[in-house]
Amino acid sequence: MPELEAPIKKEYDYSAQTNAKPGFPIPEQFIPTKKLGTIFGSIILLVIFLSLLQLPLDSFLSGDINVKIGIGIPYTFLEFNLSDTSAFPLKISGLILDLLIYLVISYAIDIALTLILKSGETDEDKAKQPLIFKDQQNTIADKITKKVFEKIEPKPQTPIV
């Protein structure tokens, strides 16, 4: 009867060294939060407000009809042409590019805010005490020091008149 070979034992277990969750390669810090929509909307409102600040008021006051009002930074996605009112004001390519740029900027702001606000330790880390600062028993030197300072009484201070 042939002898059965014993299974080969692994010297090292590499499974405990991986910190990532299996099947989920994106770290938690890079997942957008609920603030993303607020930041995205505020960026769009800011762009519209800045574009309206650039209105050519001097052309309006002088009565010039050949004025174009463009809304959008860096690409114009709304363009109102006062001389040709039948032209469609929405520019699809500018809108798509601007929205993608605003989305990337708002995602970056959201991730930065999340990292800044959660940069401190977590509650689990705060609960654990490092071994260096672990509560230790009083040593002989601590007991002697305590007895010496208990025997010394402070001198009463006389008030200065």
Q: What is the pLDDT of residues 67-126, one digit of tens each?
A: 888 999 999 999 988 888 888 999 999 999 999 999 999 999 999 999 888 776 666 665
* DSSP conformational letter for 15: G
Question: 69: part of which helix (H) or strand (E)?
Answer: strand 68-71
pLDDT at 25: 75
Cis omega before residue 74 (within 30°)? yes
pLDDT at 125: 63
Q: How far apart are alpha carbons 28 and 24 in whole angstroms?
A: 10
Q: Per-residue pLDDT for 17 more than 90?
A: no
Closest CA to 99 of 41, 35, 49: 41
Q: What is the pLDDT of residues 125-138, one digit of tens each?
A: 656 655 555 566 78
pLDDT at 43: 96
Look at the alpha carbons of 27, 31, 33, 35 in this order and tell me if their dihedral is positive or negative. positive
Q: How far apart are alpha carbons 20 and 69 in whole angstroms?
A: 51
Q: How far apart are alpha carbons 140 and 151 in whole angstroms?
A: 17
Task: Give me the chain's average pLDDT, please.
Answer: 81
What share of the chain in percent tops pLDDT 90? 35
* DSSP conformational letter for 17: G
Between the two ends of the chain, the Cα-to-Cα distance in Å is 109
Q: How far apart are alpha carbons 54 and 74 in whole angstroms?
A: 14
Structure tokens at 80: 């109102």
3-state SS of the chain: helix, strand, coil percent to 5? 45, 5, 50
Lowest mean pLDDT among 28-32, 33-37, 39-43, 112-116: 28-32
